[in-house]
Amino acid sequence: MEQHYISPERLTIARLREILDRRMPIALSEESRRRIVRCREYLDRRIEHSEQPIYGITTGFGSLCDISVGSNELAQLQRNLVMSHACGTGERVPSEIVRLILLLKIQSLAYGHSGVQLRTVERLVDFYNHGILPVVYQQGSLGASGDLAPLAHLSLPLLGLGEVEYEGRQCPASEVLDALGWQPIELQSKEGLALLNGTQFMSAYGVWSLMAARRLSDWADRIGALSLDAFDGRIEPFYDEVHLIRAHSGQLATARAVRRLLEGSELIGRPKRHVQDPYSFRCMPQVHGATKDTIDYVERVLETEINSPTDNPTVFPEEDMIISAGNFHGQPIALAMDFLAIALAELGNISERRIYKLISGARELPKFLVANPGLNSGFMIPQYTAASIVSQSKGLCMPASVDSIPSSQGQEDHVSMGSNAATKLRRVALNTERVLAIELFNAAQALEFRRPARTSPELERMVADYRRKVPFIDNDTVMYPHIEASVQFLRER
């Protein structure tokens, strides 16, 4: 099996997706190992010969930064830090996100600016490769002094503490270490801070949501094109000439995608009696395109973040410097994740409007997309469900990054709330997926009322695949299994 080597080379979102999708094992490159060892050796020499206090290494943390700690207590200081900061609560972080957090933490530590022991990073690699996923909770981080609480839970199993998910069950980390014959790590100076400071919790949520956003953006074009054809819409608003004079790249890309998807459609090519379509159809290039542009921006921000050491203090062996600064502050990605949540919510927002139009009885489609309305409610209530989801997403789009609550006796007096931005971003992504699934459910149903006319060969193939999962609805039936099957269809393709 191909292995991915953690190295100083830039880790792209595309490569990260490949690593995750193919379940590649990881290993530290020789360059990363050299950097980690060099930094640790420098830090040990600096502590031994320096009389000046070094924040978090020979002092307490946060507002306790002025309290010095004796050299014989440095290891206990770091162990205490991990234990005392494991204050997470709420829902568990999903396993696929924990796997990402582990990978991103390893990447960050491997640059050689964090002062950790090589064996500590190697144990994190072991956790990743063996599928030992620490139990982490969603609530507890302010997204400023790093993701302290969640990363403390990520780090507890290194010490033989906390819980992990392993081989399909949740159990004490100590049991797994004993079963594998591994001794707990004895943290050295600086290591607790290196593990707990950093933005890997919010970055992992951001990366997961970004990957979902790319997929959902593509689906929005596909499903929107099908809805346009089923609604007997016009193709002229998608001509290049319209979009070249405005020149937003996402707008032009969307228009071209919809035209390509509808190539060869009998429906789109037939004469139209109506002059215009509603905005939810006509303005797909402008709305879907703006989301595409947002996704591109957020990808640039997140790629910068995941290729950066974000703990504190930062150690520079070659410059003989240890600097206590603020690279753990999540503001750059907090703003971006709030932005992406808005962009994804808008894909759901415009999708719900197309759903509404499809069931409205317009353009010779039957009301609620059933042949015998009255006796049958048909697709009346899936639109309610979509409307409910869209409304919830709007509430979730209140920017978390505009808030700040001081902590640590005012030492940490401005925080990003990036972790809240991250967790609600994922909820918006899941909501948008559900709304698009409901639109596909409706659009495929509407298409059948246009027979024998056909849409494009590509969309006909998509609908044929969909029909293997979700049937045409003749008469009222229990609908929720079909909505769930639609969601799964979007995830499997």
What positions carry a catalytic annotation? 55
Q: Which DSSP state fits 365?
A: P
Give how far the C-alpha of residue 191 lies from the chain's centroid of Cα atoms, to the nearest Å. Answer: 27
Percent of the chain that is helix, strand, coil (3-state, to 5): 60, 10, 35
- CA separation, residue 11 to residues 99, 205, 308 (Å): 16, 16, 10
The span from the CA of 6 to the CA of 153, in Å, is 23
In one-letter notation, the amino acid at residue 36 is I
Burial 121-134 (b: 16+ CB within 10 A, else e): bbbbbebbeeebbb
Tell the burial category of 481 from Cβ atoms under 10 Å away from its Cβ (0-12, 13-18, 19+).
Answer: exposed
Give the strand pairing for 4-6 and 26-28.
parallel
Q: Do the beta carbons of residue 255 and residue 240 sit within 8 Å?
A: yes
Helix H or strand E encompassing 150: helix 148-155
Beta bridge partners of 172: 163
3-state secondary structure of 311: coil
> Residue 26's closest CA among 137, 100, 79, 89?
100
Tokens of 139: 């609530």
Integer angstrom CA distances of residue 289 from 248, 338, 390: 8, 18, 19
